[in-house]
């Protein structure tokens, strides 16, 4: 089964919104350098691709057994990162916990778990590996571009004094609220 480019683009944009919001929050952090931003964007794009591909392979039968668990885990991880940002805003010692190498993987996975669910439910009926790869690579590229765009937007948001001064708090609160939404809604 093949989907229209519009359908796949809509799915890709929807999946990339988690990464977009997280990238804005990360970009507001004063200690994140340009190369860190690109590593986060690459991580978000790669894990969106990988998880949607894995979900496609595992299929619908697996979805019926674990559909609610991934959202809960992703929400908890995002919430923990938000708490870390709040703590950093309070401590403000110049060291950013987000630029530890493990955070690229943790955040990449946490914003991409929904891509696995989409693979379970939307792409489970695709029998052609090349079509499946085409769709999942497209999802990864859209997420990469959305994440880079979010980092550019956050650069301009920092110029607003109140946003710049309270960026860690704002980013932390946004991530905690987003994590709670993932867990409970």
Report if residue 171 sits inside a domain: yes
Report if residue 57 sits inside a domain: yes
Report if residue 2 sits inside a domain: no
Task: Print the domain residue range for 166.
Answer: 7-184
8 A C-beta contact, residue 179 and residue 77: yes
User: Given this model, what pLDDT does residue 43 score?
Assistant: 95
Q: What sign does the dihedral 8-15-139-157 (CA atoms) show?
A: positive
Tell me the DSSP string of 83-121: HHHHHHHHH--S--GGGSHHHHHHHHHHTTHHHHHHHHH
Is pTM beyond 0.75? Reply is: no
Report if residue 22 sits inside a domain: yes
Report if residue 80 sits inside a domain: yes
Mind listing the pLDDT tens digit for each residue in 159-183?
775 655 565 666 667 667 766 776 6
Helices (H), the chain: 5-27, 34-66, 68-91, 101-110, 113-121, 129-157, 161-165, 167-184
Report if residue 153 sits inside a domain: yes
Report if residue 33 sits inside a domain: yes
Mind listing the pLDDT tens digit for each residue in 20-33?
878 887 887 777 88
Separation of alpha carbons 131 and 17, rounded Å? 23
Number of domains in the chain: 1
């Amino acid at each position: 089964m093949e989907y229209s480019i519009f359908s796949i683009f809509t799915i890709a944009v929807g999946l990339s919104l988690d990464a977009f919001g997280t990238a804005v929050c990360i970009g507001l952090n004063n200690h994140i350098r340009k190369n860190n931003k690109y590593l986060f964007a690459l991580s978000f794009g790669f894990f969106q691709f990988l998880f949607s591909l894995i979900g496609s392979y595992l299929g619908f039968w697996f979805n019926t057994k674990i559909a609610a668990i991934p959202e809960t885990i992703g929400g908890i991880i995002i919430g923990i990162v938000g708490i870390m940002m709040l703590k950093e805003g309070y401590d403000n010692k110049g060291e950013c916990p987000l630029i530890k190498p493990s955070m690229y993987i943790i955040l990449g996975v946490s914003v991409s778990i929904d891509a696995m669910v989409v693979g379970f439910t939307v792409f489970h009926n695709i029998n052609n590996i090349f079509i499946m790869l085409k769709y999942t690579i497209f999802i990864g590229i859209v997420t990469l571009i959305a994440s880079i765009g979010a980092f550019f937007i956050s650069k301009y948001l920092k110029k607003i004094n109140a946003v710049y001064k309270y960026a860690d708090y704002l980013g932390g609160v946004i991530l905690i609220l987003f994590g709670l939404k993932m867990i409970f809604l």
